[in-house]
């Protein structure tokens, strides 16, 4: 067992089956975490409660932090960071699946480099079952490459990130910013000089599908996206030209048909 906290946020619309698969993958880690902190972003369904109860009978690792109302991912993760007992925190989404050696490999990176503050990895994206891979998102490896890449796109896969709690709190913790809660935090952490690295292996199977692509379109996604990218720009990542280019791409990506969006997302935006 290692002094690592796994941090997740859970809300009412999550699927109990996916949550069970996620928790099972954590319990099968070659290196077990010290705790799994799950922030309930408002009330959840009886089925989700039953799934949590089932796993609390299997393990003492689960710690549930209940929030009375739904306030969004940024707020929930900020609460969760403060609740975690350990300096090393591994983020995870409740519908994804960890590779069995994920925590072990990331801990080794922090032990190898005491100055490391953020460590992520590549992901495989799947629809239905993890062996039905439909995408692959690669992220740059070195600190220099990450900083260059971050000027235009998110340089980390959020569900794979392990970070130091002290560095996150120094940067102001997670803050509400729909769709960009993580990118905005990374911008502030990179701006304050935190060292980063991305392991060039697929340490998480990330669930995706047509519903995800449809959520990433329309005016409801367009406006928060422009606001998010502006906040990232103002935090110090890239110049005005970078902001204009990525905003133009975001506008096109938001307004094209869903079928085109899916093809573009897989064929171009996932190329490193």
* pLDDT over 90 (residue 232): no
- Chain centroid to Cα 104, Å, comes to 18
15 vs 256, residue with greater confidence: 15
pLDDT of residue 258: 58
Task: Compare 151 and 219 and report the one with higher pLDDT.
Answer: 151
Q: Which CATH number describes the domain made up of 4-209?
A: 3.90.550.10
pLDDT at 180: 85
User: 88-91 and 162-164 as β-strands: parallel, antiparallel, unpaired?
Assistant: antiparallel
Taking the model in full, what pTM does it have? 0.86
Q: Would the pLDDT of 182 be above 80? A: yes
Tell me which residue has tokens 């300096």.
87
CB 143: neighbour CB atoms within 10 A? 20
Is the pLDDT at 171 greater than 90? The verdict is yes
- The stretch 33-44 carries a mean pLDDT of 96
Q: Identify which of 71, 60, 68, 81 has the alpha carbon closest to the alpha carbon of residue 6.
A: 81
> Which residue ranges make up each domain of the chain?
4-209
Least confident of 53-67, 110-124, 231-245: 231-245
């Amino acid at each position: 067992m290692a002094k690592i906290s796994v941090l997740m946020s859970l809300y009412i619309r999550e699927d109990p089956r996916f949550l069970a698969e996620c928790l099972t993958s954590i319990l099968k880690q070659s290196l077990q975490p010290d705790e799994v902190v799950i922030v309930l972003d408002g009330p959840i369904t009886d089925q989700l409660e039953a799934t949590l109860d089932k796993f609390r009978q299997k393990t003492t690792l689960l710690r549930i932090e209940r929030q009375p109302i739904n306030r969004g991912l940024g707020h929930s993760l900020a609460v969760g960071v403060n609740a975690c007992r350990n300096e090393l925190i591994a983020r995870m989404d409740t519908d994804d699946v960890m590779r069995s050696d994920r925590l072990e490999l990331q801990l080794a990176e922090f032990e190898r480099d005491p100055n490391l503050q953020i460590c992520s990895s590549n992901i495989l994206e799947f629809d239905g079952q993890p062996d039905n891979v439909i995408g692959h998102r690669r992220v740059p490896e070195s600190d220099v490459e990450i900083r260059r890449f971050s000027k235009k796109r998110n340089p980390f896969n959020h569900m794979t990130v392990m970070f130091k709690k002290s560095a996150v709190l120094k940067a102001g913790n997670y803050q509400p910013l729909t769709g960009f809660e993580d990118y905005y935090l990374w911008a502030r952490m990179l701006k304050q000089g935190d060292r980063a690295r991305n392991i060039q292996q697929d340490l998480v199977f990330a669930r995706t599908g047509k519903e995800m692509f449809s959520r990433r379109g329309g005016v409801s996604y367009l406006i928060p996206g422009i606001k998010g990218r502006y906040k990232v720009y103002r935090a110090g990542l890239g110049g005005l030209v970078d902001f204009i280019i990525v905003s133009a791409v975001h506008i096109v990506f938001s307004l094209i048909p869903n079928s085109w969006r899916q093809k573009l997302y897989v064929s171009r935006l996932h190329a490193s």
